[in-house]
Amino acid sequence: MIQKGLNEHAENELIDQYIPFIKKVTSGVCKRYINPSSDDEFSIAMIAFSEAIHKYSPDKGSSFLSFASLVIRRRVIDYIRMEQRKKTSLSLDYKEEDRENMENIAEVSASFQDYYQGMEREYRKEEIHHFQERLSLFEIQLSEIAAQCPKHTDARVNMVKIAKTIIEHEDLLKILMQKKRLPVKQLMEYITMSRKTIERNRKYIIALVIVLLEDYQYLKDYLREWL
């Protein structure tokens, strides 16, 4: 009902119920105590939690709180990154007016750059952690995916096509998500590929389905060439 926009009161109650969770996730990103009444990051996190409520789908397989944590962390990191860009821009503008501060401004800019890179690492770390949680539901380890990745580009492209086929057909996706197994027999009705090839790449295909279903910015960048 909340996702359909039919019960705003219920949405507000749900958000209020999870304020401790929202604070905890936000504090984890910011690496400090978050004051709900004064920190803009908390406001961003609240909006992100509402976004998660409206975008969450149990068909993707992950729990709501796992999905909400990913959305909150992403939005808060985006906000921090935007604010730091503003500060960098102001510093560079000031540099033109006062050349004597050139070295200091360069140091500030370098410091901000280090901060950006740290946030990017945090972003990637969060995605990988969430991805590992999803894989564990299928009893798959991340190391197994790397080992099973096809060596040839054509083969990888074919695996992506299979993953997309599963996502496009509700019956296939339902079996995969509910029974936690690749629906090989049913899949053969939609593609022309040997059963042996599909079975050999089973874990890799499941991993691709998860990546395509989720809002993974960095993991999708790794696969963009074949997507």
Closest by CA to 18, choosing from 50, 59, 55, 58, is 50
In total, the chain counts a number of residues equal to 227
The reported pLDDT for the residue numbered 88 is 60
pLDDT digits (tens, 9 = 90+) for 160-194: 999 999 999 989 999 999 899 999 999 999 998 89
The structure's pTM equals 0.62
The model's confidence at residue 4, banded by pLDDT at 50, 70 and 90, is confident
Boundaries of every domain in the chain? 8-136, 142-223
CB atoms within 10 A of CB 216: 22
Closest by CA to 41, choosing from 84, 96, 5, 87, is 84
Instruction: Confirm if 79 and 72 have CB atoms less than 8 A apart.
Output: no
On the question of pLDDT at 107 being above 70, the answer is no
Instruction: Confirm if 219 and 149 have CB atoms less than 8 A apart.
Output: no
Q: What is the C-alpha to C-alpha distance for residues 66 and 55, in angstroms, rounded to an integer?
A: 13
